[in-house]
Amino acid sequence: MTETVVGVFNSSEEARRARQELIANGFDEADLSLQSHPADSSGGTLVSDQPENHEGFMASVRDFFSDLFGDADSTDAGHYAEAVRRGRAVLTVQARDGAAAQQAQSALASAGAVNLDALTESWRGQGYSSFDNSAKPYTAEQISAERGTVVPVLKEELEVGKREVDLGTVRVYSRTVEVPVSETVQLREQHAEIERRPVDRTATAADLEAFEGGSVEVRETAERPVVSKQARVVEEVVVGTASRTTEQTIDDSVRSTVVEVEKGRQGQAGSDKVDPRYQAHFQQNFAANGSRYEDFAPAYAFGSQLRSDGRYEKSDWASVEADAQRDWSSRHPATAWDQVKSAVRHGWDAATR
């Protein structure tokens, strides 16, 4: 079953960013409709063809929301039309099912959607009761005055790059050196050896032939060392370059702007006024035991402020609760966290819606 999700934004720029994020997340462009002030008709789909016709333009915006809610007398339709008249932008999403509706709701809240009930309550303090088709859209001066002073929220991002550093050059030289060496070699010599031995025997025929005279030759030899040199390659030196990659962790700090709004406490002007966003929750959970609303108003406001904190724009309650408890305990040490936890959570949920 199709569900409609509506988000009110302080500017059409915020609404357009939310619209682009939804499209990037798979939502059909035809299911998204942006209603904005006549001065910014380029920002979205406007029913009127002549936005300069103020009365006709505002009536057409009211008709759009009446058709959206299926009720020509719908109070919500009038409040949304009044938001457009006062310079805000309203983005409507036709979600195909409950899961898509929840996704759209989370995206709108993260993009900066504001609480329509709170806006309406502030308008009532200015005399607003219901939407008037004949009322003219706000001028730029009126829009600026209603929005009040704008506090820019800044956030630093750490950018780590890298640069090449010259570590010098490496040169490889080659030269010839002489190293004394010593080798031992065995040399053989052969010489004539004369041995005389005394004998006493009768001469034989061979002895008689030798008696005639003659000579005997014996060859003498000697080995001499011969030295020669032969060059051999015993090692190769390869000169080149090699690269290696290392990781280095850069520790630094970045700054961001945190805007905190502290509402009035007990005994201050306006602290006894019951916010309609929280009235039912207070009556159901705390009023029965005699508690006063002003004792829990800071907790509701604290939860609402957490939802608008840029640090938690993409977070759910489960991931924020621990930080919320520490922050609350440091600001309100006299009030136990368990006592106000449900009120803080309700303030968070109300701001999310």
Q: Which two tokens stand for residue 240?
A: 């080149």
Backbone angles phi, psi at 77, to 5 degrees: -60, -40
pLDDT at 18: 92
Relative to beta strand 89-95, strand 3-9 is antiparallel
Whether residue 7 is found in the same domain as residue 137:
yes
Backbone angles phi, psi at 28, to 5 degrees: -75, 130
Element (H, E) at 43: none
Which CA distances in Å does 137 have to 11, 14, 116?
Answer: 15, 20, 18
Given a cut of 60, whether residue 176 has pLDDT beyond it is: yes
pLDDT in tens, 230-242: 888 888 888 878 8
pLDDT in tens, 183-206: 898 988 988 888 888 988 888 877
Q: Where does a domain end: 117, 150, 183?
A: 150
Residue 244 falls within a domain, yes or no? no
Residue 30 falls within a domain, yes or no? yes
Residue 16 falls within a domain, yes or no? yes
Residue 275 falls within a domain, yes or no? yes
Residue 211 falls within a domain, yes or no? no
Whether residue 146 is found in the same domain as residue 3:
yes
Are 6 and 91 a contacting pair, CB within 8 Å?
yes
pLDDT at 179: 84
pLDDT at 21: 93
pLDDT in tens, 11-52: 888 999 999 999 999 999 999 999 888 766 444 443 333 344
Residue 293 falls within a domain, yes or no? yes
Given a cut of 90, whether residue 91 has pLDDT beyond it is: yes
Residue 260 falls within a domain, yes or no? yes
Which CA distances in Å does 52 have to 11, 42, 195, 304?
Answer: 19, 13, 148, 37
Whether residue 143 is found in the same domain as residue 18:
yes
Q: Where does a domain end: 101, 133, 150?
A: 150
Whether residue 19 is found in the same domain as residue 134:
yes
Residue 187 falls within a domain, yes or no? no
Q: Where does a domain end: 123, 150, 177?
A: 150
pLDDT at 308: 85
Domain limits for position 127: 1-150
The one-letter amino acid at 187: L
Cα–Cα distance measured from residue 54 to residue 58, given in angstroms and rounded to the nearest whole number:
6
Confidence class for position 8, pLDDT limits 50, 70, 90: very high
Given a cut of 50, whether residue 93 has pLDDT beyond it is: yes
Over residues 82-89, the mean pLDDT reads 90
Q: How many domains does the chain have?
A: 2
Whether residue 1 is found in the same domain as residue 126:
yes
Whether residue 1 is found in the same domain as residue 134:
yes
Over residues 117-131, the mean pLDDT reads 88
Confidence class for position 61, pLDDT limits 50, 70, 90: confident
- Report the chain's mean pLDDT, rounded to a whole number: 82
Whether residue 4 is found in the same domain as residue 132:
yes
Confidence class for position 270, pLDDT limits 50, 70, 90: very low
